[in-house]
Structure 1
């Protein structure tokens, strides 16, 4: 079975082309399942469209869900189309996000930490001038939030769990056992993590998470799934077979798919 649970489209403002284009690309790449999971609106804001270049407007989410459901019917028999969302994780607004998502028949929710200590994890200059101790604390704060997201009960998948290395490859070498402790929390919470292949397009030049973290994930019994994090149709399913082979080499035997927020483990 071939699938991709992490894809975007033009509503978020920084991806290109329509949902249909991503579905057609998935068919061309012989996928069995395509999950549409665009960025969640900034629900905590009184503004309808707080960051047009980052996420869709709050008022756009119902039409987004309806379009995916219509395409699901249209493509039935050719490919399975699933309705998802990549949700920001703001602990102080979690109840608001949870209540909002309950209005829609989501097949899965990806919980992604994009902001730590008030700044984007992808902010390229956020590391400038920090001491070794401050860098260590930042990494620990990042993984503390990921652990909180795992325990929240809202998410079926955790997105790109070492993406903070994206524009700062040295992140991986910061000495702390925070990542390992967080993997144990993720296992206890029984939430899956994705292998996200979009890191290859950042400075780090590799997948999220790293090979080392995937080895530790297996050790702790963490479930895994796949997502390209495609922001253009040609990246749908990107490196799927390479990821599958890598997981087999590490020792994984199965990975997860999702329907109606229920996890199903399928052989690699």
Structure 2
């Protein structure tokens, strides 16, 4: 069976299309399960809609939830529609996010580090005029955040765990023992990581994470999920079959998705 747990829509401000369009695209691509996981609001900020080109407004969250739950009922028997969210991880505001999420019937929450050292990991100037020592420090800081997100207990899946390479492909070559330590911790906590096929939309191309990281993930018993990270309906399920082939080649026997926050196994 095919699934895709990482999809966005117009509410985040940098994706296009209605949720219904993503569901219909999932059906057209032969998916059995589609997860809707738009970007979480900035709950820590006083403004209702902080950075409208990045995340949805706080006031839109109930509308988002109600729409997904209504579509879940409407499409029952055609495709399993899951309610998810891609949540930023800010250690200083962890309890703020936990309090918001505790009463929402999410099937799963993707935890993603989008900011490290106070800057977006997708800032194209992030590594400009930075020496090798500083690059190592930046990579270490990023993986400390990911490690902390795994330990937080807030998430079922961690999103694009080497996405800092998005506009700086050489990021993968920066030596840091924290990468392997992070994968070890992820394996111990039981949270999954996703193979995210959206790196092709940036300079890095390919997928997140790298094949090398996937091999290490297998060694540490890390569960693998799948997400296209589609911001247009046309990318729903993008390269799912190729991902399955690569995972089998590495040695994985299955992938996972989550429903009612319970792990479901999908053999590959």
* TM-score grouping bracket, smaller chain normalisation: over 0.9
* Equivalent residue number for residue 64 of structure 1: 64
Provide structure 2 residue ranges, at least 5 long, that are not aligned to the other structure: none
* Equivalent residue number for residue 84 of structure 1: 84
Provide structure 1 residue ranges, at least 5 long, that are not aligned to the other structure: none
SS in 2 for 1:70: helix
- 1:255 & 1:205 partners in 2: Cα distance? 22
- 1:98 & 1:262 partners in 2: Cα distance? 18
Q: Is 1:205 the counterpart of 2:199 in the alignment?
A: no
* Equivalent residue number for residue 162 of structure 1: 162
Q: Is 1:151 the counterpart of 2:151 in the alignment?
A: yes
Moved more, 233-242 or 129-138: 129-138
Q: How does 1:1-268 map to 2 (within 5 A)?
A: 1-268=1-268
**Where do 4+ consecutive residues of structure 1 move more than 3 Å?**
none
CA-CA distance at 1:45 after TM superposition: 0.6
SS in 1 for 2:26: helix
SS in 2 for 1:225: strand
- 2:12 & 2:245 partners in 1: Cα distance? 32
CA-CA distance at 1:265 after TM superposition: 1.8
Deviations 1:177-234 (A, max 9, x none): 1111100010011100000000011101110000110000001110000000000000
CA-CA distance at 1:50 after TM superposition: 0.6
Q: How many residues align?
A: 268
Aligned CA RMSD, in angstroms, stands at 0.5
- 2:149 & 2:47 partners in 1: Cα distance? 25
CA-CA distance at 1:15 after TM superposition: 0.2
CA-CA distance at 1:176 after TM superposition: 1.4
SS in 2 for 1:238: coil
SS in 2 for 1:155: coil
- 1:130 & 1:257 partners in 2: Cα distance? 39
CA-CA distance at 1:266 after TM superposition: 2.1
Deviations 1:214-261 (A, max 9, x none): 000001110000000000000000000000000000000011011111
SS in 2 for 1:71: helix
- 1:52 & 1:175 partners in 2: Cα distance? 35
CA-CA distance at 1:126 after TM superposition: 1.2
- 2:13 & 2:107 partners in 1: Cα distance? 23
SS in 1 for 2:45: coil
